[in-house]
Structure 1
Amino acid sequence: MAANGYQLCCDLDHWIRRRIRMAYWRQWRKPRTKIRQLMRLGVEIRTAVGCGRSSKGPWRSAKTPGINQVLSLAYLKSQGLYSMRDGWIKLHHS
């Protein structure tokens, strides 16, 4: 049962991160803003333009390598995101 709970926790944590990436993507709205924000956060020009001009929807775009590189777990943690996986490990293995 504990392993099942851990896996559910990891899956939910993954889903939440993707949902937050999608929210950033929607917040940036226009392709020019998306490209500018991706470049400001460290993506190379070619990748930023490819992501920013994509016709994919926000949910699908949130899974692309360029967006995952910029809005990584480390970046999201620096912005205050709590990792459920880390909480699970701390609770069960402390």
Structure 2
Amino acid sequence: MEEELTPLLRGWMNYFRLAEVKGLFEELDGWIRRKLRGVIWRQWKRAITRAKGLMKRGLDEVQAWKSATNGRGPWWNAGAAHMHAAFPKSYFDR
């Protein structure tokens, strides 16, 4: 019986091990994208540059100016909806 179960159990362990790694890499991928959005936010040093950059990426003028002048830090802005709209996941997949 042990000889029959060993390959089966190894297969299940390998299957679930891959599933856990996949989740870890997805989490890491999300963190890296947020970090890159923060770098972009820092590169746009002034509010006018941030507003113009957000408008160039498709945000309307009112939302771009509200976001550019919100006074929050790069990490907060990197996780905010306006940066996700301007730089979606597909932007970083290329």
Q: What does 1:68-87 align with in structure 2 at a 5 Å threshold?
A: 68-78=84-94
Task: Provide the residue aligned with 2:25 in structure 1.
Answer: 9
Deviation at 1:47, TM superposition (A): 1.1
Greater fraction helix? 2
Which residue, out of 55, 64, 75, partners 1:39?
55
Taking structure 2 as the reference length, what is the TM-score of the superposition? Answer: 0.79
Between the aligned residues of both structures, percent identity stands at 29
Give the number of the structure with larger relative contact order, counting CA–CA contacts within 8 Å between residues 6 or more apart. Answer: 1
| Structure 1 runs, 4 residues or longer, greater than 3 Å off | none
Task: Provide the residue aligned with 1:52 in structure 2.
Answer: 68
Aligned residues: 78
CA distance in 1, matches of 2:60, 2:72: 20
- The one-letter code of the counterpart of 2:78 is A
- When the two chains are superposed, the root-mean-square deviation of aligned CA atoms in Å is 0.9
Which residue, out of 42, 45, 49, partners 1:29?
45
| Structure 2 gaps, min length 5 | 1-16
